[in-house]
C-alpha cells in the first residue's frame, strides 16, 4: 500500500440542503467537523451518499472551497470527482488537486453502458494526464449497482501499472466480498477500502486499508473502534455490533434514512431534505428506523 | 399533439472531435447544415448519439451558441439538456430556452437507480419551475437501456397533466414497441417519437410525431421519405429499406460505426474519433460495415 495513501475509516459525508435545495454549507462543515472529532480518518465528500451526482459542478467546487476555508484540512479530504463527462471530471479533479486534497475518489464515466476496458482505461488516462499533477492521488470507485459501469480486475491492474503513484487506491462498493477479496489478493499495492463496514474485518485481515462507508455518517466511532481493534479478541463482537446498525438502515432507502437520523441528532428537520430524484423518508419509516436503532441501544 | 411541437425526422447529430478531443465546432455546423439540406425536420443535438454525456457543461453551451451563431435557426433545435444533477440540468435547459431553442430533450437524472415516480416527478418539476419560461418545451427522453432510469406510463401522465404546454413530447428509445404503442394510446396529446426508425411506420399509423434516430445521421433522406409517404403504397417497402441500413449499423458499436461512415463521406478521418469511454471502430470493422452498406446499395 502506498506510504501516503489514506487508511482507516473515511466518511462519504451527507450533504444538507436548505428549503431551496441549495447546499447548506455551514451545516455541512458542522457535520464534517463532528465526523472528524468522532474519529473519522478522512472525508470522502461528494460521494454517492453525499448525493454529489445530484449537485452541480459549480456548487461542488464552491462547497469544497467553503469546507477548506472553514478550516477542514485538505489532508483529510477525498472528494468524489468522477462525472459522466470527461472534461467535467478533469475540471473537478484539477480543482480538488489545486486545493490540496489528499486524494480523489473517481467514478468511471457512468452514462454510456457496456463500454469496454480499453474505453475506461482511456477515460482514466485522459483525466490523469490532463490534470497532470504529481500531487494527484486517485482512488478508483467501483460501484456497479449504481454506476452500472464496473471496473474489472484487469482494468484495475492496467491502471495501477500505467499510473503508479497516481492510482493509489480503490473503493469497492460492489457488495460482493469475492470481488474485494480478489482486488486485495491481486493488488496488494493498492489501498483498498470496502464500501460497507460489514466487510471491514475481512478487509483488514487481508491487508486492506479500511472502509469508506455511508453508515459512518452516524456510526463512525464504533466502526473506527473495530478498525483499531481488529487484531483483538473482541473484534468479531465489534463487527457484529456495527453490522446490526448497518442492517437497520438497509431496510430503508439508505441516504434518506441516514439523513433522518442525522436530523434527529442535530435536532434540525432541514437535515431530512434530499435532492430529487431521491425522496425524504416518510415520517412512519423514520419512526420505525428510530425504533430499530433504539432497540439496538444505538446512539449517534 | 400540441400545435407547435416538432414533427418528422429529427437527428441526434454526431459531434466531431479534434485530436485533442475538443469539439470541432465548424465540422459540426457543416454536418448539421447537411442534415437540414437532406430533409431533417430538426436537430436533437447533444443526444446520446452525440456523445453529449461525455461533453462538459461549458462545452455544450459554447457549441450550441456556435451553432446558432453560424446561422442554424434555434427553431429547428432540440438540444439534450438532462444531466445527473438537478442544477446542471436547470442551467443547460435555461440556456437553451434563452437561446430560443424550440424544444429540449430531457433525460431523467441518471446516476441514482431504482428511484421512484415521485422522485422523478419532483426532478422534472423542479427543472420546469426553476427555468420558469413559457417558451420551454420539454420532450421527455425514455432510454432505459442506457440511462437505466425508465419513465413509467404513470409518470408521463402525471407530468403531462401538471405541465400542459411545457411537457409536449417524448422520445421512446426503449426499443420496445409495446411501450411506444402504450404511450401513443394513452397520451395522444404528446408528440411521440420512436427512437429507432424501424418503428416509424407503426408510430405514424398510431398518430405519432415521427422519429429521432441515430441512423438519420447517415440516412435522413430515406427516413424522411418514409415519413412523407407513410400512407402510400410503397410505405412498407420504404420501411424495409431503412430497416436494412439500421441493421447493418446494429452489428457494430452504433456511434463509432456511424462516425466511421460519416468520416468516409466527408473524407475526414478526424470524424472517426470518439470521446472515451467510447472507442473508434477498428479499421477491419469499418471495412466490414462499409462492405455491408455497399451490399445494400447504400449511399450517404
Model pLDDT for residues B135-176, shown as the tens digit of each residue: 999 999 999 999 999 999 999 999 999 999 999 999 999 999
Helix (H) or strand (E) holding A93: helix A86-98
> In chain B, which residues have their Cβ closer than 8 Å to the Cβ of A53?
84-85, 109, 111-112
Average pLDDT of B285-293? 96
Query: Terminus-to-terminus CA distance in chain A, angstroms?
Result: 32
Q: Work out the mean pLDDT of chain B and round it to a whole number.
A: 97
Does the structure show a pLDDT above 70 at A81? Answer: yes
pTM: 0.97
Question: Mutation test of the interface with chain B: which of A144, A155, A253, A276, choosing the one with the most B Cβ atoms within 10 A?
Answer: A276
CB-CB under 8 Å, A53 with B279: no
In the structure, what pLDDT confidence band is assigned to residue A100 with cuts at 50, 70 and 90?
very high
**The predicted structure's pLDDT at residue A77:** 98
Q: Is A174 on the interface with B (CB under 8 A)?
A: no
Tell me what pLDDT residue B62 has: 98
Asked if pLDDT for residue B256 goes beyond 70, the answer is yes
What is the percentage of chain B residues whose pLDDT exceeds 90? 98
The secondary structure of chain A in percent helix, strand, coil, rounded to multiples of 5, reads 50, 10, 40
Torsions phi, psi of B175, nearest 5?
80, 5
What CA–CA distance (Å, rounded) separates A27 from B76? 45
Q: Between chains, do A277 and B21 touch, taking CB under 8 Å as contact?
A: no
ipTM of predicted complex: 0.97
Q: What cell was used for A59?
A: 456548487
**Contact by Cβ (8 Å): B218, B209:** no
Selection from B19, B102, B99, B107 nearest residue B67 by Cα: B99
Query: pLDDT by residue (tens digit) across B26-68?
Result: 999 999 999 999 999 999 999 999 999 999 999 999 999 999 9
| CB neighbour list of residue A114: distance below 8 Å, 6 or more residues apart | none
Q: How confident is the model at residue A99 (pLDDT cuts 50, 70, 90)?
A: very high
Please write the tens of the pLDDT for every residue from B88-129: 999 999 999 999 999 999 999 999 999 999 999 999 999 999
Residues 6+ apart with CB under 8 A from B245: B215, B218, B219, B222, B293, B296, B298
Q: Is B123 on the interface with A (CB under 8 A)?
A: yes
Angle at which helices B25-37 and B57-69 pack, to 10 degrees?
Answer: 50
Residue with cell string 487481508: A206
Dihedral sign of CA atoms A232, A236, A237, A240 in order = positive
- Stated length of chain A: 300
Choose the closest CB to A87 out of B55, B149, B278: B55
Contacts of B147 (CB under 8 A, 6+ apart): A111, B107, B108, B110, B141
Q: Does A83 touch chain B (CB under 8 A)?
A: yes
Query: Is there a contact between B110 and B141 (Cβ–Cβ < 8 Å)?
Result: no
Shortest distance between the Cα of B202 and any Cα of chain A, in A, equals: 28
Residue pair A292/A266 in contact by the 8 Å Cβ criterion: no
Q: State the residue for C-alpha cell 438532462.
A: B82
Three-state DSSP class for residue A193: strand
**Per-residue pLDDT at A4:** 73
> Is pLDDT of B14 > 70?
yes
Buried b (16+ CB within 10 A) or exposed e, B133-168: eeebbbbbbbbbebbbbebebebbebbbeebeebbb
Strand partners, A211: A9, A194
State the Cα–Cα distance between residues B293 and B300, nearest whole angstrom.
10
Give every CB contact of residue A79 below 8 A, 6+ residues apart in sequence.
A44, A45, A46, A60, A64, A92, A96, A101, A104, A105
Q: At what angle do helices B86-98 and A57-69 cross, to 10 degrees?
A: 130
Quick one: cell of A287? 419512526
User: B2 pLDDT exceeds 80?
Assistant: no
Cα distance between residue A111 and residue A83, in whole Å? 9
- The pLDDT of residue B133: 98
CA distances from residue A41 to A299, B82, B280, B297 in whole angstroms, order as listed = 20, 36, 42, 65
- The 3-class SS string of chain B reads CCCCCCCEEEECCCCCECCCCCECHHHHHHHHHHHHHCCCCEECCCCCCCCHHHCCHHHHHHHHHHHHHCCCCHHHECCECCCCCHHHHHHHHHHHHHCCCCCEEECCCCCCCCCCHHHHHHHHHHHHHHHCCCCCCEEEEECHHHHCCCCCHHHHHHHHHHCECCEEEEEECCCCHHHHHHHHHHCCCCEEEECCHHHHHHHHHCCCCEEECCCHHHHHHHHHHHHHCCCCCCHHHHHHHHHHHHHHHHCCCHHHHHHHHHHHHCCCHHHHCCCCCCCCCCHHHHHHHHHHHHHCCCCC
Q: Among A103, A145, A138, A142, which Cα is nearest to A124's?
A: A138
Per CB-CB distance under 8 Å, the chain B contacts of A145 are 113
Nearest CA in chain B to A130: B20
- How far is the alpha carbon of B78 from chain A, nearest alpha carbon, in Å? 20
Q: What cell numbers appear for B287 in the block?
A: 471495412
Residue A3: the pLDDT is 65
Residue of B85, B141, B281 for testing the chain A interface, max A β-carbons within 10 Å:
B85
HEC per residue, A206-226: CCCCEEECCCHHHHHHHHHHH
Residues B195 and B204 sit within 8 Å (Cβ to Cβ): no
Q: What end-to-end distance do the CA atoms of chain B give, in Å?
A: 32
Query: DSSP letter at A190?
Result: S
Looking at residues A130-140, what average pLDDT do you find? Answer: 98
Q: CB of B237 within 8 Å of any CB in chain A?
A: no
Distance CA A194, CA A212 (A): 6
pLDDT of B3 over the 70 cut: no
Q: Do residues A211 and A193 lie in contact, with contact meaning Cβ atoms separated by under 8 Å?
A: yes
Is pLDDT of A266 > 90? yes
B1: pLDDT strictly greater than 90: no
Which of B48, B113, B277 shows the shortest C-beta gap to A119?
A: B277
Query: What is the reported pLDDT for A1?
Result: 62
Amino acid at each position: 500500500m502506498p506510504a501516503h495513501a489514506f487508511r482507516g475509516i473515511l466518511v462519504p459525508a451527507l450533504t444538507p440542503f436548505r428549503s431551496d435545495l441549495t447546499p447548506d454549507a455551514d451545516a455541512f462543515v458542522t457535520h464534517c467537523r463532528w465526523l472528524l472529532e468522532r474519529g473519522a480518518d478522512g472525508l470522502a465528500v461528494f460521494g454517492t451518499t453525499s448525493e454529489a451526482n445530484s449537485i452541480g459542478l459549480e456548487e461542488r467546487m464552491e462547497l469544497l472551497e467553503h469546507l477548506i476555508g472553514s478550516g477542514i484540512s485538505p489532508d483529510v479530504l477525498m472528494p468524489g470527482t468522477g462525472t459522466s463527462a470527461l472534461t467535467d471530471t478533469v475540471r473537478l479533479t484539477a480543482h480538488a488537486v489545486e486545493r490540496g486534497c489528499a486524494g480523489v475518489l473517481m467514478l468511471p464515466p457512468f452514462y454510456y453502458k457496456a463500454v469496454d476496458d480499453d474505453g475506461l482505461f482511456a477515460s482514466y488516462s485522459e483525466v490523469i494526464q490532463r490534470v497532470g499533477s504529481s500531487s494527484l492521488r486517485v482512488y478508483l470507485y467501483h460501484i456497479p449497482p449504481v454506476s452500472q459501469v464496473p471496473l474489472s480486475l484487469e482494468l484495475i491492474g492496467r491502471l495501477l501499472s500505467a499510473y503508479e503513484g497516481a492510482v493509489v487506491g480503490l473503493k469497492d462498493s460492489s457488495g460482493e466480498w469475492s470481488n474485494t477479496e480478489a482486488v486485495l489478493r491481486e493488488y496488494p499495492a493498492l489501498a483498498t477500502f470496502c464500501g460497507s463496514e460489514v466487510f471491514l474485518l475481512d478487509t483488514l485481515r487481508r491487508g486492506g486499508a479500511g472502509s469508506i462507508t455511508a453508515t459512518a455518517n452516524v456510526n463512525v466511532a464504533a466502526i473506527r473502534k473495530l478498525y483499531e481493534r481488529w487484531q483483538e479478541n473482541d473484534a468479531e463482537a465489534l463487527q457484529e455490533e456495527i453490522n446490526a446498525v448497518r442492517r437497520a438502515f438497509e431496510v430503508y432507502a439508505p441516504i434518506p434514512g441516514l439523513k433522518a437520523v442525522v436530523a434527529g441528532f442535530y435536532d434540525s428537520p432541514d437535515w431530512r431534505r434530499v435532492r430529487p430524484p431521491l425522496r425524504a423518508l416518510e415520517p412512519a419509516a423514520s419512526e420505525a428506523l428510530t425504533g430499530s436503532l433504539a432497540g439496538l441501544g444505538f446512539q449517534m
